[in-house]
Structure 1
Amino acid sequence: MSIQNVNTATPNAIQQRHLIQSPDTSFFSDFKAAYARYQTAPSSDASADAKSSQAVTGLSDVMGLTYTEMAAVRGTSPNDQSAYAAILNRAYTQGDMDDPVAFLKSLTPEEQGVVQRAHCLADSIQPTTMSKEGAYNLLLPEGYQVDFNHDGIQEVGAAKNITFPPLDAPEQVKQAWLTATQNMDEGSMMTYQLRMHIMMYGININDQTSKALTPTDQIDSYRDGVDKFLAWLEYTKASIPADQYARDKAFFSDMKRLLA
């Protein structure tokens, strides 16, 4: 269930942390099958530390590459990883994704804490105050999200995340993005994520839900957007710093080439 199989270019570590896809029709059945294999895997006579390492390795086949890497970055404990996987398996097996808010309400405070830590949320989970999208995304491992209202912003609990490319972007757009950002530092990549998001969705004012300015599932939308940004860049060239102009010119010219 690695997200990198949707692209021909292999994401680097920074890109992997930011790649998001929607769960496909086989996601839940694949997860349950992988979890069943994980549960029935024979235990070894190794030390406690070795067993813990083996458990994390086994869970990576269940939870996917992005979750595994983010868990390592965040220092998520093996116990929390195992407990979170069990919570997800229960939700998927019982059919509770139809009403994820109710499922989160049914969890004990300790289990809600596991979900909170799995997503590195600052505040405790309050299911009664969150949307179905926010609850649903709490019950998906890192690397998978839904955007039910198609506003380009994924709610994860009470948090709201902007990502690029959008979940329904054509594969060529995803490939172009990976190639164009391959050698960027994380800060620069996030800056261009925001610029590309604004290009497709405009600026969200007063936390109002916004729709895409142009169809996000059609590659011509991205081609037109990049062309318009390049034209704007030339128009404003005299009023922006030369180094910023050079960086933006290089990035958007690269995207234009890759989207051709």
Structure 2
Amino acid sequence: MFFCKDLSRGAGRYTYSDRDYPLRTGNRLKLDNPYIRYKSTGCTCALFKPALFDSDSQKGMTLKIDAASSLSNLLTPNKDKQNQDQAVQNIFSAMLAQVGRQGYVSAETTDAEPPTVESLQRSWDSWFNSQRTGRYSQVEKPEELQQSFGNIIVRAHNEGGYVDPQSFLQKLSPEELAVVQKVQGLAEPIDVDALTEEGALNLLLPGAAQIDLNRDGFTRNGEAYGLRFPNSNTPAEVVAAWNEATQGMDFGQIATAQIQMMLPMLTANIEIDENGQFVRQHQPGDPEFKNPFANADYSYSTAVKNQLEALEAKKNELPADKYESQKAFWSNLQQALQKHGAA
């Protein structure tokens, strides 16, 4: 998941998989599909708020980003983490279905009893514990934080918080809102009045279970915009293929692949003039904003095929090892999509 607060303020948090990192501003990411070229050699991640594009006649279109520090200790995503994320997505999606909301479309359904407050809390506890060496490794009194947010989940379930999240958050004390802020890794105190329904709802969900409620391609977490791939609307067969193809990849490789998978949404909202110069970027909420992934005819298989074709076109411009690793990944993903019957 790529997550940021308003980067124009120059501070925030970066969340990837199971670790949080403080941010520093100043680096930029060049959008040169299908390759991600970092202007700072120390930058191995990309985070952004919509409308942070600018145009530079010498450097081309760029996306302002923050560089995460201390990336050397990143854990490689593995099957255990995928299983933990899937488990918490399954049970919280089932709970959301009970109140008439769509959770993860890739969530597995069972014939078991509907989720109870006890099963929700057990799922939260299990997922939190799986993040203790990563995302929550720097948290003071983690057991207290875990219990406090678990209590908020119980209250939200019993008091209609997942039906009307804004009203529920209004009832929380400043201390309880501080718990939510810490669990979600937010840089600033929560302003409930400024939240959208999606942003409020996701504050009451474990990070891995947060959803793109309005299907605009972004996952709101409080006031923050987040990009993640796969997200709650990614088809189950695509998720299965992605998990299979990314096994054993390191942080930088997965981060680059995630950005490349999301580029169609970014480029679809950039308007250029007849000379190819940047005019504007349409933001979520604008009438012109497009989320190509929401189109019924969007094809992940075609997108991967296009990545492979573009890679071949630039073969001679890339170091041989980079070309081979990129080709291996996209070929593996193409085969996995075919194997799982993804469009």
The TM-score with structure 2 as length reference comes to 0.58
SS at match of 2:93: coil
CA contact (8 A) 1:97 1:136 kept: yes
Identity of aligned residues (%): 32
- The offset of 1:250, in angstroms, is 0.9
The structure with the greater share of residues assigned to helix is: 1
Q: Indicate whether 1:106 and 2:171 are aligned.
A: yes
Q: Which one of 178, 181, 203 corresponds to residue 116 of structure 1?
A: 181
The TM-score with structure 1 as length reference comes to 0.75
Q: Indicate whether 1:170 and 2:170 are aligned.
A: no
Change (3 A) 1:113 1:180: same
Aligned match of 2:320: 242
Q: Distance between the aligned counterparts of 1:186 and 1:15, measured in 2?
A: 14
Gaps of 5+ in 2: 1-76, 99-113, 271-280, 339-343
Q: Distance between the aligned counterparts of 1:112 and 1:207, measured in 2?
A: 32
**One-letter amino acid of the structure 2 residue matched with residue 67 of structure 1:** F
Greater displacement, 222-231 / 162-171: 162-171
Q: CA RMSD in A?
A: 2.8
SS at match of 1:161: strand
**One-letter amino acid of the structure 2 residue matched with residue 208 of structure 1:** Q
- The offset of 1:207, in angstroms, is 6.6
CA contact (8 A) 1:67 1:142 kept: no
Aligned match of 2:128: 67
Q: Which one of 208, 213, 233 corresponds to residue 283 of structure 2?
A: 208
- TM alignment of 1:1-260, pairs within 5 A: 11-13=78-80, 15=82, 21=89, 23-26=92-95, 30-34=115-119, 61-63=122-124, 65-73=126-134, 74-75=136-137, 76=139, 77-199=142-264, 201-203=265-267, 206=281, 208-209=283-284, 210-215=289-294, 221-260=299-338
- The offset of 1:212, in angstroms, is 3.0
CA contact (8 A) 1:169 1:216 kept: no
Q: Distance between the aligned counterparts of 2:249 and 2:185, measured in 1?
A: 24
Q: Distance between the aligned counterparts of 1:17 and 1:248, measured in 2?
A: 28
- The offset of 1:15, in angstroms, is 4.6
- The offset of 1:189, in angstroms, is 1.0
Change (3 A) 1:244 1:18: farther
Change (3 A) 1:153 1:67: farther
**One-letter amino acid of the structure 1 residue matched with residue 328 of structure 2:** A
Q: Distance between the aligned counterparts of 1:229 and 1:251, measured in 2?
A: 11
Aligned match of 2:7: none
- The offset of 1:239, in angstroms, is 2.7
Q: Show CA shifts across 1:129-181 (max 9, x none).
A: 12111110000122211212212210101222211123222222111111111
Aligned residues: 225
Q: Distance between the aligned counterparts of 2:259 and 2:290, measured in 1?
A: 16
